[in-house]
Amino acid sequence: MSDAMKNTRRAVLIVSGGMDSCVLSYYYAAAGFNLHLLSFDYGQRHLKELDYAKRYIEHLRQRYSSGPQALEILHETIELPIARLSPNSTSALLNADVEMPHGHYSDDNMKITVVPYRNPNMLLQAATVAWNEGASVIAYAAHAGDHSQYPDCRPAFVEAFNTMLARSMDDNTVTVEVPFMRFTKAQIARLGASLGVPFEQTWSCYEGGEQHCGLCGTCVERREAFLLAGVPDPTVYEREPDPSVYER
């Protein structure tokens, strides 16, 4: 029996190519969970994030490939037809004709990046995988900075979703965990640094260009998180935002 198979704790994580998902993966690995990581192609504009997910997951696999702390780490990308089912979407993440908003993530104009029912769709897929594999935990990397824009990243949503899971199966054993729910992104950056996360192998920018644009909400939030955390930022940005955008 392999070292990884000796460990029976298992978690199914929803992961993008971003820094929060990367830290989430390293967090559960450090806690000794075998992992099944699920990424999703839902027609997002920044599809290249999926390539970055593969990069940091390979780094994670190498770290836990052998020895007494070896883990089984699986990864797959699932296609969700959200874009196809939303031909008239006004979300900037799905419709390339919609201008991507610039500025701080907490600004009202960032609401145009909401993809309706994205997280519930992903969580249901994760719950199905978890049930079939005997995993009791599914998790995603929502954090305190998401609450103002995304209803499906708020504590009330997670509580309601867990109630739905409990009522969907008479013998349900699957629960959603959101360990970063009260964390700021700066706190996630500090945690990632302590776990040795390869931040250079993550992607945040919603534009999906050759480099991080530096101006969209996720770029501003990423840059700000590293600054506030006192963690070196390995990201190459095309442009630096006005420093006043951080004065919050």
Is residue 227 domain-resident? no
Binding residues for ATP, by number, are 15-25
145: containing domain: 3-91+116-198
Region class of 18: left (phi > 0), else alpha (psi between -120 and 50), else beta = beta
Contact 148, 104 (CB under 8 A): no
- Phi, psi (rounded to 5 degrees) for 55: -65, -50
* Percent of the chain predicted with pLDDT > 70: 92
The DSSP code sequence of 126-142 is: HHHHHHHHT--EEE---
Q: How many domains does the chain have?
A: 1
Contact 224, 185 (CB under 8 A): yes
Burial class (CB within 10 angstroms; exposed 0-12, middle 13-18, buried 19+) of 76: exposed
Binding residues, by number, are 15-25, 205, 213, 216, 219
Is residue 211 domain-resident? no
**pLDDT value of residue 247:** 52
Read off the pLDDT of each residue in 6-14 and give the average, rounded to a whole number: 85
For the cut 80, the answer to whether the pLDDT of residue 170 exceeds it is yes
**pLDDT value of residue 245:** 61
Read off the pLDDT of each residue in 21-29 and give the average, rounded to a whole number: 99
E strand residue ranges, the chain: 10-14, 34-41, 73-79, 137-139, 175-177
**pLDDT value of residue 1:** 38
Binding residues for Zn(2+), by number, are 205, 213, 216, 219
Residue 23 Cα to chain centre, angstroms:
9
Is residue 226 domain-resident? no
We report the CATH number of the domain holding residue 59 as: 3.40.50.620
Q: What sign does the CA torsion over 28, 188, 217, 231 have? A: negative
For the cut 80, the answer to whether the pLDDT of residue 238 exceeds it is yes
Nearest CA-CA partner of 203 in 226, 181, 180, 235: 235
Tens of pLDDT, residues 94-152? 777 787 777 776 656 677 778 889 999 999 999 999 999 999 999 999 999 877 788 99
User: What is the spatial order of strands in the sheet that 10-14 belongs to?
Assistant: 73-79, 34-41, 10-14, 137-139, 175-177
Is residue 47 domain-resident? yes
For the cut 80, the answer to whether the pLDDT of residue 5 exceeds it is no
Is residue 32 domain-resident? yes
More confident residue, 195 or 89: 195
Pairing type for strands 175-177 and 137-139 reads parallel
Is residue 99 domain-resident? no
Is residue 7 domain-resident? yes
SS3 of residue 169 by DSSP? coil
Pairing type for strands 73-79 and 175-177 reads unpaired
Pairing type for strands 10-14 and 34-41 reads parallel
For the cut 90, the answer to whether the pLDDT of residue 81 exceeds it is no
More confident residue, 208 or 201: 201
Instruction: Identify the top-confidence range among 6-15, 71-80, 217-226.
Output: 71-80
SS3 of residue 118 by DSSP? helix
* Percent of the chain predicted with pLDDT > 90: 69
Is residue 228 domain-resident? no
